[in-house]
Amino acid sequence: MTDEAIRATASFMAQLSSSGAPIVVFDLDGTLADTASDLIATLNFILQREGLDPLPLDEARDLIGAGARALIGRGFQARQKPLTADHLETLFGAFLDHYGQNLVVHTKLYPGIVEALDTLAAQGFTLAVCTNKMQDHSRQLLEALGILDRFAALAGRDTYPVCKPDPLHLTRTIADAKGDPRRAVLVGDSKTDVDTARAAAIPVIGVDFGYTDTPMVRLMPDRLISHFDALVPAVQALIRA
């Protein structure tokens, strides 16, 4: 390819990118909504079915964050019970069936998130969700919580061939939402989210109230917030930077 062709291609890609809106992409579990009680209730349903003691919520909430398969595996590990790959797949199906019938028993949105979403939308931001929760469950949950229609795209664990921490999960979500990746921010609660954002070269805002076995402050996100009242100025600062 000639230098002129390279410059023309770069110019076209820049125009294409800049045509998108600034975008904020959210994780779901532990970020938008406190889903721990319902997730751990389903994990305990599986553990007890297998003859294992249930896990207390306070002990188990940090096992969340990498999807249902990982949650089941971590639950068995916490109970020091071996688990084969084949049996994990069987339990995974049972987990999805049970959880799908109990999505919003105790689950609730975090304080301030609705107001923050509305403010960002009013300021011209596109909003999207990128989660390792299954897409159907994510859609049903967000609809039950009354905020599904605020998001231009929703990508779950099974939406694409890859999922977080693969950066393509995030960048494809941004593309599907018609957002500008140069003016994008990810909001999440775990190492998985921070690693995904870093791999995609996209700034990340960490919330310190979610589910993580490593405190968010130690993961060194670009901004750290403790309440969604602080989200909008944090997003604005990162976009300006």
On the question of pLDDT at 224 being above 70, the answer is: yes
Q: Supply the pTM of this predicted model.
A: 0.86
Topology of domain 36-100, CATH: DNA polymerase; domain 1 (1.10.150)
Taking only the tens place, the pLDDT of each residue in 125-146 is 999 999 999 999 999 999 999 9
User: Rounded distance, CA 198 to CA 219, Å?
Assistant: 11
Residues carrying an active site annotation? 27
Six-digit token string for 52: 């294992």
- 239 with 185: CB under 8 angstroms? yes
Rounded (10°) CA dihedral 222, 21, 161, 210: 40
Q: pLDDT tens digit string along 200-217?
A: 999 999 999 999 889 999
As a whole number of angstroms, the distance between CA 64 and CA 42 comes to 12
Helix (H, G, I), strand (E, B) or coil at 211: coil
Query: Quick one: 3-34+107-240 is in which CATH superfamily?
Result: HAD superfamily/HAD-like (3.40.50.1000)
Dist CA 181 CA 186 (whole Å): 11
Could you give the dihedral angle defined by the CA atoms of residues 122, 210, 99 and 147, in that order, rounded to the nearest 10 degrees? Answer: -10
Domain residues of the chain, as ranges? 3-34+107-240, 36-100
